[in-house]
Amino acid sequence: MKSWKFITYNQLGKQSDVCRECVKVHEDDTHIIGCLCDGLGSPENAQIAAEVATDTVIEMFSTIQSSGDITKNDVRQVKEAVVTAVKTRLKKTAEEKKLELDALDCTLLFVCVFKEEDIAVIGNLGESALCVIGNTDARLFGNGTVDGKAVLDDNAVQRLYMTIIRLDDNVKGFLLSSDGLESEVYYKGQEYVGKSAEIYFNVVLEEDPQKAMQEKVAELTDDPEAGFNDDISLAVISCTDEAVTLPDEPVWPCVCGNSNPLYEDVCAECGREFAVLYKNVNLSGGKARFFRSLQLNPTKRDQLTAALRRDDAQASKQTTKVIPMASIRKAQQEAAEETKEEEKTIAADEPAETPEAPEAPETASPASDQEYIPDVEEFETEEEPKERKSFAEVLKSTWPFLLAAFVIGALLSGIITAVVKDAVRANEAPLPVPTKVVNIETTAPANTGVPVASTTSPASSDPSQPASQPANGSNADIAGVWRIDHFVVGGEKVSGDSGIGLTYIYTFNADGSVTRDSGVIETGSYVRDGNVITASFGDGDYEFEYSAAAKSMTVEMGDVTFVYGKDGQPVQDVTEPATSAELVEQPATDAPIAPRGQQMTTTVPTTENADNADEADEAEEEDIAE
């Protein structure tokens, strides 16, 4: 059993008189429970709501003696129980203090560790963040994107992120942070934990953790330009005696060589936009996960950067430069002035043979008797608008042509319709006589050696039962470990080890439970409907499509299809078999006699064709008599 240590810290914001947040950690023989709540009402009411909700969550989980009481398929029920318990206590408090219930709304953030079982239940509803700290990495559960109303919202149960994780040797503890440390410990809307989180987490190892935490937070709040003015609450729950080291925060590389934080959309060095630069890159698994994988693989990072430089250079060559019209006009005017100067120079160099009339000044008015030379600018003036005719005038001059076109079109349409009908009528075949299908089944005597026909009647099959799923509803065919085999991107198959993105390892059990492994083990449940398997985890539902022929499961995420193989077996490249042919009604014929013990299918004419069948039999008997 792991040995746990913890610390809580709460600091009033610069612009607050009353702290709106409450953070507590409770430990007993079997549990260690941490909870952080942030009130959303006025300062006084927010403090009341946060404290009531925190105490309610801790009391509720302390009564659960074993994680077995929170079964894999009951996560939704536990979510509902948590929200209902908090709402009930807040409603009672509002009645006692004569307050409106909406004034006691608050967020929820909690973790409950079952120490003897190394199992933890975590949940988040609101703008706070819960970080699971590993030895060399960390993961953010709930990225602070659910703002506004929280526990009193009508959709609070659905919006509460909750899951169960197994505490293996890689998990070193938890860090619960309010939104007062947003952009320091975590980034709203992102999927990764900030590098600074390791400093706050390692504080629990100091001789005086409370003093060390106060000094660290003071470095932020004392800086007026840092912008950390809100209430700050933290809880650190650790099971390690060694300091952890988290990786640097993921960045996106630009072609100019600069590295930019993921929350920046424009390169700070060259001004290139992320959306334009990475428009042809498939960020499978999410932006943070994609660049974190590049961070762990410098070779692939360099290859991606080189490819982006080639694309950027090619795009720059293909870009057509647009010259403003003002520049064109200025160039034309300068060229005209140079031409005039050259003409004057030539005229001055030539000797004057005969006296010429004095030239008109350049500023002569167009209305004068002198020849008017228009300026360059006037070549860009618009032409005079042409006289437009009204709709009535246009219709008056064109109606004969429209009428003739309509008559010709009607005649051609009638001729084509008549030709098509004659062709169809000539090629029509007589309709088959409707029949009924009758199954005649006989039982073969013992030890006759006569095989029994395997013909299946329609009544014996259940169309609602998929062919690939056993009739008894067993899930044994999908039970096992499923790992990524390959991806399908834009219709092309990409190898599973291509580094296109990080993937999960799924383990489906026959009892309807499923686990997801991404370094942290999460437990959920699944429901099967034929070949469609819907797996439910704390962050939502995922729909898989199972193929027994290909021995694969596929799930679509954005424009990428993830194809999983079972127990390390390669996925078969097969063509989906055609659907079973339906029984086709045939004209009534004489039924052949099947050998004894075989099942035979014959046809019987319907009532409306019975007379025709009797007449045929009588004619046959007369022929035999003759």
pLDDT tens digits, residue range 91-143? 999 999 999 998 999 999 999 999 988 999 999 998 888 999 988 788 888 65
Residue 611 CA to residue 159 CA, distance in Å, equals 70
Dihedral of CA atoms 163, 168, 173, 178 in degrees, nearest 10, equals -20
Same domain for 267 and 201, yes or no, is no
pLDDT tens digits, 160-169 = 888 888 898 8
Burial 156-176 (b: 16+ CB within 10 A, else e): bbebbbbbbbbbeeebbbbbb
**Residue 523 pLDDT > 50, yes or no?**
yes
In a domain? residue 414:
no
Residue 391 is predicted with a pLDDT of: 64
- Return the closest-CA partner of residue 45 out of 61, 14, 22, 76: 22
Does residue 166 lie in a domain region?
A: yes
- Residue 308 belongs to a domain: yes
Mean per-residue pLDDT for 294-300? 80
Bigger pLDDT: 322 or 568? 568
| pLDDT(441) > 50 | no
In a domain, 380, yes or no: no
Please check whether residues 14 and 81 belong to one and the same domain. Answer: yes
Band of the pLDDT at 349, cuts 50, 70, 90?
Answer: low
Give the pLDDT of residue 237. Answer: 96
**pLDDT class of 585 with cuts at 50, 70, 90:** very low
Quote the CA–CA distance of 40 and 225 in Å, as a whole number: 26
Q: For residue 492, what pLDDT is reported? A: 78
222 shares its domain with 261: no
- 89, 107, 326, 519, 597 from 75: Cα distances, Å: 21, 19, 68, 21, 55
Question: Residue 417's pLDDT is what?
Answer: 81
Length of the chain: 626
77 has pLDDT over 50: yes
Amino acid at 607: T
| Residue 145 sits in the same domain as residue 290 | no
Please indicate, yes or no, whether residues 53 and 112 belong to a single structural domain of this protein. yes
pLDDT category, 452, cuts 50, 70, 90?
A: very low
Based on the fold, state whether residues 234 and 298 are members of the same structural domain.
Answer: no
Closest by alpha carbon to 281, among 310, 320, 319, 316? 310
| pLDDT greater than 60 at residue 403 | yes
Q: How many CB atoms lie within 10 A of CB 515?
A: 21
- Assess if residue 307 is contained within a domain: yes
Residues 6 or more apart whose Cβ sits within 8 Å of residue 262? 187, 190, 192, 249, 250, 251, 252, 287, 288, 291
Residue 488: domain span = 480-566
463-510 residue pLDDT tens: 444 434 443 457 888 888 988 888 787 677 877 665 555 567 889 998
Query: What CATH number is attached to the domain comprising 546?
Result: 2.40.128.280
- Please give the pLDDT value at position 484: 83
pLDDT, tens digit (0-9, with 9 covering 90-100), for 189-248:
666 788 888 999 999 999 999 999 999 888 888 887 777 888 899 999 999 999 998 888
**CATH number of the CATH domain containing 179:** 3.60.40.10
Q: Residue 319: which residues within 8 A CB-CB, separation 6 or more?
A: none
Q: Which residue has the higher pLDDT, 524 or 33?
A: 33
User: Which of 387-396, 437-446, 480-489 shows the lowest per-residue confidence on average (mean pLDDT)?
Assistant: 437-446
Between CA 361 and CA 186 the distance in angstroms is 76
Percentage of residues in the chain having pLDDT higher than 70? 68
Q: How confident is the model at residue 352, as a pLDDT? A: 53
Contacts of 278 (CB under 8 A, 6+ apart): 252, 308
- DSSP SS3 for 468: coil
398 within some domain: no
| Last-in-domain residue among 238, 271, 306 | 238
Identify the pLDDT of residue 211: 93
Label residue 298 by pLDDT band (50, 70, 90).
Answer: confident
**Does residue 362 form part of some domain?**
no
Helices H / strands E in the chain, number of each: 11, 23
How far, in Å, CA of 382 to CA of 375, rounded? Answer: 15
Residue from 132, 138, 136, 107 nearest 37 by CA? 107
- Cβ(190)–Cβ(145) under 8 Å? no
d(CA 196, CA 203): 12
CB 152 within 8 A of CB 89: no
On the CB side of 533, how many CA atoms lie within 13 Å of its CA?
Answer: 29
Question: Which helix (H) or strand (E) element contains residue 410?
Answer: helix 391-427
User: Which has the closest alpha carbon to 600: 463, 461, 451, 462?
Assistant: 451
Clarify whether residues 83 and 184 are in a common domain. yes
123/161 Cα distance (integer angstroms): 5
Q: Among 118-127, 281-290, 426-435, name the one with the lowest average pLDDT.
A: 426-435
- List % helix, strand, coil for the chain (3-state, nearest 5): 35, 25, 45
Distance CA 85, CA 63 (A): 13
pLDDT of residue 247: 81
Q: Which of 515, 541, 566 is the last residue in one of the domains?
A: 566
> Are the C-beta atoms of 535 and 524 separated by less than 8 Å?
yes
Domain count along the chain: 3
**24, 157: one domain:** yes
Domain stop point among 301, 318, 335: 318
- What strands lie across the sheet with 171-177, from one edge to the other? 5-11, 232-238, 171-177, 129-134, 138-143
Residue 18 C-beta-side C-alpha neighbours within 13 Å: 15
Residue 200 maps to a domain: yes
Which candidate, 122, 117, 147, 145, places its Cα nearest to that of 133?
A: 122
Measured distance CA(602)–CA(616) in Å, rounded: 18
Pick from 19-28, 411-420, 506-515: least confident: 411-420
Same domain, 100 and 185: yes
State the pLDDT at residue 200: 93
Q: Using CA atoms, how far apart are residues 379 and 383, in angstroms rounded to an integer? A: 10
* Per-chain mean pLDDT for the chain: 75
Q: Which span out of 196-205, 290-299, 533-542 was modeled with the highest average pLDDT? A: 196-205
Q: Which residues contact 488 (CB under 8 A, 6 or more apart)?
A: 494, 560, 561, 563
pLDDT score, position 580: 39
The three-state secondary structure class of 414 is helix
pTM, two decimals, is: 0.52
Q: What are the phi and psi torsion angles at 81 (to 5°)?
A: -65, -40
| Average pLDDT value for residue range 536-551 | 84
Average pLDDT over residues 406-415: 83
| Domain match, 122 and 234 both | yes
Q: Give yes or no: residues 258 and 223 share one domain.
A: no
The pLDDT of residue 233 is 92
Instruction: Report pLDDT for 534.
Output: 92
Q: State whether 270 and 188 are in the same domain.
A: no
